[in-house]
Amino acid sequence: MSIDLHCHSTISDGALSPGEVVRRAHEHGCTLLALTDHDHTGGLVEARQQAQQLGMRLINGVEISVTWRARSIHVVGLDFDDRHEGLQQLLAQVRAGRIMRFQAMAAKLAHKGIADALVGASALVTNPDMPSRTHLAQFLVDNGHVRNKAEAFRKYLGEGKPCCVKHQWADLGETIGAITAAGGLAVIAHPMRYDLSATAKRNLFEEFKALGGVAIEVHSGRSSLNDRLNYALLAERFDLMASCGSDFHRVGDFGGGDLGRCPELPPICQPVWTRFQAA
Ligand code: AMP
Ligand code: MN
Ligand code: MN
Ligand code: MN
């Protein structure tokens, strides 16, 4: 069984259309897939149609941008009703500031002597509602300002770097509340990627659980066995279930893994998919 519960399409900052994402996952033997675009569920209809044609199980998903204690974290929602009004309202609110933030970051790049970032990166945006740092990073790579995306984030766009604009995303409690009200399960995305102290991590997991959160990603992208064992133990300690996802964005990308190629979770994990509603 191959399961992938975190990936992106052109509806946010991925390079493949929702249908192409589903086809590639299917080619890789994936049997249970969730498409989790950032702050947007607009790809689910096309993904569902393609999955139905291929006889593959697709779960509704989304990856919501959250501000928790002045930090940016991501919460994945799984297996919710994508027509739920409260959830759609929250997503619309989260998206609202993106265009201005994108313009402000491009202005900061211009200040650093990179003049044409707004025009150049806008041309890479595939959903006008969802301009993101990924598009700015891709522009910087394509135009030789940096060698790769990791360098773009390290030098310019990462949290606290000179061209990153701080943004107020969704509230953690409201996010978990909206996902849950829509019948879904809230999952902390890629906990290994946040630069959190042991204490901050404990606070996050405790608060997340108390607010109705269900699981954490024990595997994300190219996690090591050490990461997976570590987060499997943390999940057990905080009474949270486990999820896994490639965080796929594009073929050949550095950060995310490939679609439908997640390793098995450590045996102590309680897999979140055992809680999915029957197909
Ligand atoms: P935004 O939603 O505009 O803040 O953009 C965040 C996106 O940037 C994430 O979803 C990733 O796809 C990408 N990203 C963040 N950090 C990195 C990094 N260090 N290397 C490559 N991509 C990154
Ligand atoms: Mn992304
Ligand atoms: Mn993320
Ligand atoms: Mn993601």
| Number of the ligand 1 atom closest to the C-alpha atom of 65 | 2
Report pLDDT digits (tens) over 26-51. Answer: 999 999 999 999 999 999 999 999 99
Ligand 1 pocket list (CB less than 6 A): 13, 38, 65, 132-134, 149-150, 153, 158, 249, 255
What confidence score (pLDDT) does residue 254 get? 61
Q: Nearest ligand, CA of residue 149? A: 1
What confidence score (pLDDT) does residue 234 get? 98
Q: What is the pTM of this model?
A: 0.98
AA letter at 70: A
Residues in the chain: 279
Residues 150 and 189 in one domain: no
Q: Nearest ligand, CA of residue 102? A: 1
Render 40-84 in DSSP notation, one character per residue.
Answer: --TTHHHHHHHHHHHT-EEEEEEEEEEEETTEEEEEEEES--TT-
Residues 64 and 196 in one domain: yes
In this prediction, the residues of the chain whose per-residue pLDDT falls under 50 are none
How far, in Å, is the centroid of ligand 4 from the Cα of 63?
6
Residues 211 and 73 in one domain: yes
Residues 148 and 102 in one domain: yes
Q: Which domain holds residue 175?
A: 3-84+169-275
